[in-house]
């Protein structure tokens, strides 16, 4: 009998690599500091998952950063300023992402199991293809090489538009969308998957919601770990995630639940287009 789940589209940073989604935060902080306008890690994380030029624009639109920019530069930020920061950001992310390309524990074993079961594996990212240039060979050397990689700029609109997920499904020849799953640690990625008509699984512990490296996460006390993961999970559920797990290492029972619901004729929820 054909397995009911046709394909899974995984995010990259915070989901399959880079525990804590550290690379883009580091790069964004450095890019804004180079312009003389420091930002905090929280400000860098607020719009995580978007294409990085869109991410820069969103940071500059926040009242606190816009006010700081105006105070330093003498005028509000413009499209030219977005371009200037993004020009600094691309090589910074490429370098940071390459340094932070270790697979999240359990990711390689999960990919091998999915392949053995005939489930197609695709991926999408808010990184450009240039930003991904160091990640892809490092991930492959660790045992993870999805059949399709869709990057920011490969579609006319980035997240939360569903186009990147749709492009991955088209290239995988995987359909219908309600027999496919989108896995992401960022709320904008969950919204992308829901708008695409896929089941969605949020990743609460390893991604942007907690925002700690693997070592820092492991050093937490049990109460602190539970508190941070629970808050991250609540945020992902509020974004519409059908299921939430700590990391991809915990995903197998959820896949079984989704498979059963597909067989029963159930469909995932779909967010209204905004």
The catalytic site residues sit at 11, 52
In sequence order, the β-bridge partners of residue 183 are: 10, 201
- The answer to whether 8 and 183 have CB atoms below 8 angstroms apart is yes
Query: Residue with structure tokens 């926040």?
Result: 62
Q: Which two tokens stand for residue 159?
A: 């997240």
Please name which of 10, 1, 2 lies closest in space to residue 200, comparing C-alpha atoms: 10
Please give the sequence-ordered ranges of beta strands (E in DSSP) within the chain, or none if there are none: 7-10, 120-124, 148-150, 180-184, 199-203, 243-245
- DSSP string for 178-227: GGEEEEESSHHHHHHHHHTT-EEEEE-SSSTTT---HHHHHTS-HHHHHH
Q: What distance in Å separates the CA atoms of residue 79 and residue 124, rounded to the nearest whole number?
A: 26
């Amino acid at each position: 009998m054909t397995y009911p789940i046709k394909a899974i589209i995984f995010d990259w940073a915070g989901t399959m690599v880079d525990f804590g989604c550290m690379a883009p935060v580091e790069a964004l902080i450095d890019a804004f500091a180079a312009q003389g306008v420091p930002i905090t890690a929280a400000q860098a994380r607020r719009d995580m998952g978007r294409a990085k030029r869109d991410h820069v624009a969103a940071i500059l639109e926040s009242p606190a950063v816009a006010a700081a920019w105006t105070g330093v530069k003498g005028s509000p930020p413009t499209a030219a300023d977005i371009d200037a920061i993004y020009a600094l950001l691309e090589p910074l992310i490429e370098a940071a992402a390459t340094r932070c390309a270790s697979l999240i524990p359990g990711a390689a074993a999960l990919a091998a199991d999915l392949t053995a079961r005939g489930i197609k594996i695709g991926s999408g990212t808010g990184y450009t293809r240039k930003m991904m240039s160091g990640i892809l060979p490092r991930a492959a050397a660790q045992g993870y090489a999805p059949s399709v990689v869709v990057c920011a700029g490969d579609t006319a609109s980035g997240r939360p538009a569903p186009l990147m997920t749709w492009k991955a499904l088209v290239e995988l020849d995987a359909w219908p969308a309600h027999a496919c799953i989108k896995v992401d640690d960022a709320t904008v990625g969950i919204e992308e998957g829901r708008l695409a008509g896929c089941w969605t699984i949020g990743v609460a512990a390893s991604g942007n919601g907690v925002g700690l490296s693997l070592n820092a996460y492991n050093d937490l006390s049990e109460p602190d770990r539970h508190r941070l993961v629970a808050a991250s999970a609540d945020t992902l559920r509020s974004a519409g995630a059908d299921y939430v797990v700590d990391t991809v290492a915990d995903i197998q029972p959820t896949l079984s639940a989704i498979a059963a619901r597909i067989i029963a004729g159930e469909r995932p929820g779909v967010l209204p287009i905004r």
